[in-house]
């Protein structure tokens, strides 16, 4: 028996663009045939906008974000109770089933992204000099390859071995076998390397678009997941030595609107509050903020409630605690017109904690479920911690990288003696409630150690199952 995947839904023709982020995405959908579309630089940019667009689709971006915390058991599911988003309930005990109704949408959306990128890579790559300048063509193709690498990275991180599609699909040719991990990681690396060689550096690229540093960072992240520690350390040092990035002076500045795309941001997904007050992807804002706001404050939906066991892992006087958690009764934005007393007393908020990151003052909220703040996918602090982790594995000076992260928050040397455990601890508290925990535990091979009490089994729960709607079994 060989697993074959039906990706019909994932290869719908997607030239139509619905913008979802900053000004370069605020465009109207073209209404022309594909055959006559790719003839000018403007049209190449419009198609590329469609590749970026999927980054901001609600079901795509909050899926790995909140499951990273909830299934990593740093947080309770929260919400109105077990009947609210019930598809998450079996996952909490690592009861994986391909028929789980929460799985198809992100799987399909990432493949929508792959197909849009394949279209740009193929069609823009075939445009003549009369249609588009060589340097512009190279830039557009490089951005599309970066985004294709991003979508495949997420697919592999979440679902494991998946079909590998490097060209536009044709009708009747939608059934594809799984690719091996070796094939998939080589493909992801190749896309990020190609993007890195062409993309502009931060400060020379339009805000929100992929940069050389972002491609380097995702390549480094791929090496981390592949356990290529020497390559990871080398790539992290290229980013560090570039001088294009640094740490925000104050840790909590990372999540303030006036610091978006700041010095610490390596890559972030852009959102704006524009649109109507309707629900869904027609608007430009994010949905995960209202998902993680207390049910008793600002009509929040109360998901992703931090656990006390996670809060207890912070060292005494670590300022990252206050930047990560909202305690019940805490006064937020004190002394301003936005002053709010946190009310976390609802039944599914078991330890009376809510997440602080990404919560902004009410005067800055968008309409309904569309808040304006961006989602930071990679921060420079994480690059430093990748370098520390890679150095710990290779016998290098891991402490100097890690200490930079601690220095920013005024902490002395780590109290954890073992190098790898010190890095793991620092990742937990530095990146807490940023959707990283589950994926870190799995790639570090610590699933049964940390999550075994919740039902995690190594080799069984490393990846979520491919959705049954996309999966067929046939004799080969």
Tokens 């949905």, located at residue:
287
| Domain limits for position 126 | 2-198+445-474
With cut-offs at 50, 70 and 90, classify the pLDDT of residue 298: confident
Residue 73 lies in a domain: yes
Residue 324 lies in a domain: yes
Domain closes at, from 348, 373, 398: 373
Residues β-bridged to residue 370: 367
* Residue positions counted in the chain: 476
Residue 359 lies in a domain: yes
**What is the rounded average pLDDT of the residues 390-401?**
98
> pTM to 2 decimals?
0.92
Residues β-bridged to residue 355: 325
Residue 405 lies in a domain: no
Co-location of 116 and 22 in the same domain: yes
Domain closes at, from 373, 395, 411: 373
What are 454-462's contacts with CB under 8 Å, separation 24+? Answer: 454/73, 454/92, 454/93, 454/94, 455/93, 455/94, 455/95, 456/94, 457/94, 460/94, 460/96, 461/94, 461/96, 462/160
pLDDT of the residue at 31 = 53
Co-location of 369 and 449 in the same domain: no
With cut-offs at 50, 70 and 90, classify the pLDDT of residue 176: confident
Residue 212 lies in a domain: no
Express as a percent the part of the chain with pLDDT over 70.
87
Residue 400 lies in a domain: no
Co-location of 363 and 449 in the same domain: no
Please determine, for residue 8, whether its predicted confidence score (pLDDT) is greater than 50.
no
Co-location of 365 and 456 in the same domain: no
pLDDT of the residue at 473 = 36
Residue 423 lies in a domain: no
Co-location of 327 and 464 in the same domain: no
Round to whole Å and give the CA distance between 43 and 123. Answer: 11
pLDDT of the residue at 10 = 36
Round to whole Å and give the CA distance between 106 and 466. Answer: 11
pLDDT of the residue at 26 = 43
If one counts the domains in the chain, the total is: 2
Residue 436 lies in a domain: no
Please determine, for residue 323, whether its predicted confidence score (pLDDT) is greater than 50.
yes
Higher pLDDT, 35 or 105: 105
The CATH number given to whatever domain includes residue 103 is: 1.25.40.890
Q: What is the DSSP string of 259-303?
A: GTT-TTEEEEE---S-S-S--STTSSSBSHHHHTS-TTSTT---E
Round to whole Å and give the CA distance between 194 and 199. Answer: 9
Question: Around 456, how many Cα atoms within 13 Å sit in the side-chain half-sphere?
Answer: 22
pLDDT of the residue at 435 = 93
Co-location of 31 and 163 in the same domain: yes
Cβ contacts of 293 within 8 Å, gap of 6 or more:
299, 300, 301, 302, 354, 359
Cβ contacts of 37 within 8 Å, gap of 6 or more:
15, 30, 43, 47, 123
Tell me which of 50-64, 259-273, 354-368 is least confident.
50-64
Please determine, for residue 6, whether its predicted confidence score (pLDDT) is greater than 60.
no
With cut-offs at 50, 70 and 90, classify the pLDDT of residue 370: confident
Nearest CA to 76 out of 241, 253, 295 is that of 295
Express as a percent the part of the chain with pLDDT over 90.
78
pLDDT of the residue at 9 = 36
Give residue-wise pLDDT tens across range 134-167. 999 999 999 999 999 999 999 999 999 999 999 9
pLDDT of the residue at 276 = 61
Nearest CA to 154 out of 89, 63, 88 is that of 63
Contact present, 289 and 269 (Cβ < 8 Å): no
Strands of 356-470 (E only): list them.
375-379
Question: From residue 252, how far is each of 282, 390, 444 by CA, in Å?
Answer: 30, 26, 27
With cut-offs at 50, 70 and 90, classify the pLDDT of residue 34: low
Co-location of 293 and 191 in the same domain: no
**What is the rounded average pLDDT of the residues 403-408?**
98
Domain closes at, from 373, 402, 425: 373
Please determine, for residue 394, whether its predicted confidence score (pLDDT) is greater than 70.
yes
Q: What is the DSSP string of 152-171?
A: HHHHHHHH-S-B---S---T
Structure tokens at 277: 């007050």
pLDDT of the residue at 23 = 41
């Amino acid at each position: 028996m060989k697993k074959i995947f039906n990706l019909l839904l994932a290869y719908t023709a997607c030239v139509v663009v619905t913008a979802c982020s900053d000004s370069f995405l605020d465009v109207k959908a073209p209404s022309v045939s594909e055959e006559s579309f790719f003839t000018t630089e403007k049209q190449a940019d419009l198609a590329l906008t469609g590749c970026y667009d999927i980054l901001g689709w609600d079901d795509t971006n909050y899926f790995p974000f909140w499951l990273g915390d909830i299934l990593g058991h740093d947080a309770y599911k929260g919400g109105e109770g077990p009947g609210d988003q019930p598809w998450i309930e079996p996952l909490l005990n690592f009861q994986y089933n391909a028929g789980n109704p929460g799985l198809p949408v992100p799987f399909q959306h990432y493949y929508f992204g792959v197909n849009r990128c394949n279209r740009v890579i193929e069609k823009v790559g075939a445009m003549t000099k009369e249609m588009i300048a060589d340097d512009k063509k190279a830039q557009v193709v490089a951005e599309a390859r970066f985004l294709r690498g991003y979508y495949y990275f997420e697919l592999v991180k979440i679902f494991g071995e998946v079909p590998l599609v490097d060209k536009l699909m044709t009708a009747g040719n939608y059934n594809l076998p799984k690719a091996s991990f070796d094939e998939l990681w080589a493909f992801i690396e190749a896309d990020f390397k190609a993007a890195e060689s062409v993309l502009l550096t931060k400060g020379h690229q339009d805000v929100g678009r992929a940069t050389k540093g972002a491609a380097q960072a995702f390549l480094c992240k791929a090496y981390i997941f592949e356990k290529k520690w020497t390559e990871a350390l080398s790539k992290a040092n290229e980013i560090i030595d570039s001088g294009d990035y640094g740490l925000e002076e104050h840790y909590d500045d990372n999540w303030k609107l006036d610091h978006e795309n700041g010095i610490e941001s390596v890559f972030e997904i852009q959102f704006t509050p524009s649109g109507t007050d309707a629900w869904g992807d027609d608007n430009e804002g994010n949905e995960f903020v209202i998902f993680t706001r207390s049910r008793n404050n600002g009509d929040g939906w109360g998901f992703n409630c931090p656990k006390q066991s996670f809060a207890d892992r912070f060292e005494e006087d670590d300022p990252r605690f206050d930047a990560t958690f909202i305690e019940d009764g805490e006064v937020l934005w004190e002394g301003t017109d936005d002053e709010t007393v946190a009310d976390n007393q609802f039944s599914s908020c078991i330890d009376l904690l809510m997440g602080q990151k990404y919560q902004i003052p009410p005067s800055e909220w968008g309409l309904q479920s569309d808040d304006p703040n961006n989602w930071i996918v990679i921060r420079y602090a994480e690059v430093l911690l990748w370098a520390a982790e890679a150095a710990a594995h290779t016998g290098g000076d891991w402490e100097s990288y890690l200490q930079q992260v601690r220095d920013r928050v005024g902490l002395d040397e780590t109290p954890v003696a073992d190098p790898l455990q010190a890095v793991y601890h620092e990742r937990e508290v530095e990146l807490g409630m940023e959707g990283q925990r589950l994926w870190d535990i799995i790639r570090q091979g610590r699933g049964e150690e940390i999550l075994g009490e919740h039902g995690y089994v190594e080799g069984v729960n490393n990846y979520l199952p491919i959705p049954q709607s996309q999966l067929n079994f046939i004799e080969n």
